[in-house]
Structure 1
Amino acid sequence: MSELERDLSAFVDQAALLIDLPIPADYRQGVIANFERIAAIAQLVIEFPLPDDIELAPIFEP
């Protein structure tokens, strides 16, 4: 088990306790796998370079 998987496993367990959401043993590995995918996507967003002088949009309109 990798360090990331251990961290995500602990996160899933703690988050489930925090929001009182029991995760059946049959689904636990699937939940952890989904969080691994989420972490990979989030890393791409976090690493995207933005200029220091960028301004926030005052109103978000999709």
Structure 2
Amino acid sequence: MSGEAFDAKKLIEAMAEFLGLPLEDEYREGITAHLIVAHSIAQGVLAFETSDDAEPAPVFEP
């Protein structure tokens, strides 16, 4: 992590340019709002600590 504060608008602009995706001004506010919510959810997931040997699910052994 770079330690920079999350800037949804900056990320949207960069990704739209990278993907060559034209964004209509009327959609930017909604896209920004949804990205901020997704970022907030991701922070909760990333904050959950697990051990290095944790498995995402039990290992199947026939």
Aligning the two structures, in what range does the TM-score lie when normalised by the shorter sequence? 0.7 to 0.9
Distance 1:12 1:31 in 2: 8
- TM-score by length of structure 2 reads 0.73
Q: How many residues align?
A: 54
| Bigger relative CO (Cα 8 Å, ≥ 6 apart) | 1
What is the identity, as a one-letter code, of the residue corresponding to 1:35? Answer: L
Q: CA RMSD in A?
A: 1.9
Give ranges in structure 1 of 5+ residues lacking alignment. Answer: none
Give runs of aligned pairs for residues 6-25 of structure 1, distance below 5 A.
7-25=7-25
Structure 1's consecutive aligned runs of 4 or more residues displaced over 3 angstroms after TM superposition are: none
- TM-score by length of structure 1 reads 0.73
Q: Which has the higher helix share?
A: 1
Deviation string, structure 1 residues 6-57 (Cα, Å, up to 9, x no partner): x110100010010011110000011011100100110011001102332566
| Structure number with bigger Rg | 2
Percent identity between the aligned chains?
Answer: 31
